[in-house]
Amino acid sequence: MKRNIFFSLAGAAALLGMTGCGSAPVRIDTASSQGITTVHQIDFKDWQIAAEKGISSMLESGAMKRADGRKTVLMVGNVKNSTRENVNTRILTDKIRQAVLRSGQAVVTTAVGAKGAEETAVRQVRELENDDLFNQSTVQKRGTVIAPDMSLSGEIVQQQRHSGRTEESYFFIHMVLTDLATGLAVWEDNVEIAKQGTKSIFD
């Protein structure tokens, strides 16, 4: 009898010990397939997939190429977050603007953005024109900043569904490139990401 109690206690202690075991934090390769996959949130892999598909489609379209040979000046506009999550869409737009710059098809302005200038220094340095501390010939002149030709904007929409213990999220990432002279969309594409998971009966 005592022996049974001892084995039961030892077994329970071993199980408790096993459930208490964790693993030390490790760095993972952001380019790899590692990383946490959640159903209702946009994980870093999802941003990478969306960026890769969006960039490939945009570069392939040649929409940024100008007939006069000058490089298009692109501004990053608003990417509306219509999901239930608090997401920073900058992860997507930064990847796209870097790819645009590296492609050589366009240059990106930071003097204009969706919420005002991204780089406030452009305006700030021009306010030095009345400051006698500075050599006025070195102060940036007004009327030299180049206005954008095109704007990149978009929206992220999420749709959630549940059926029994199975839950699903569908993310629809819409991107559009607008010619600011005409207001016409010169390129548009969507990236769709669907994720599904089944909850444990203990959840």
- Find out whether 76 and 83 touch, Cβ atoms under 8 Å: no
The tokens for 13 are 């202690």
CB 6 within 8 A of CB 134: no
Closer by beta carbon to another protein, 101 or else 128? 101
Q: What is the largest CA-CA distance in the chain?
A: 97
Quick check: 60 binds another protein (CB under 8 A)? yes
141 binds another protein (CB under 8 A): no
CA atoms of 87 and 20, how far apart (whole Å)? 32
Does residue number 31 form part of the binding site for another protein (CB under 8 A)?
yes
Site for another protein in 68-107 (CB under 8 A): 95-96, 98-99, 102-105
Site for another protein contains 126 (CB under 8 A): no
Among 48, 81, 110, 190, binds another protein (CB under 8 A): 48
Query: Which of 45, 71, 80, 126 touches another protein (CB under 8 A)?
Result: 45
Tokens 């190429």, residue?
Answer: 65
User: Binding of another protein at residue 51 (CB under 8 A)?
Assistant: yes
Measured from the CB of residue 83, what is the shortest distance to another protein in angstroms? 20
According to the binding rule CB under 8 A, does residue 195 interact with another protein? no
| Shortest distance (Å) from residue 67 CB to another protein | 12
| E strand or H helix at 155 | strand 150-163
In this chain, which stretch among 12-20, 45-53, 111-119, 129-137 interacts with another protein, using CB under 8 A? 45-53
8 Å CB contact between 100 and 94: no
Q: Two tokens at 184?
A: 């016409």
DSSP string, 5-53: HHHHHHHHHHHHHHHH---------TTSS-S---SSS--HHHHHHHHHH
Residue ranges in contact with another protein by CB under 8 A: 30-33, 45, 48-49, 51-52, 55-56, 59-62, 64-65, 95-96, 98-99, 102-105
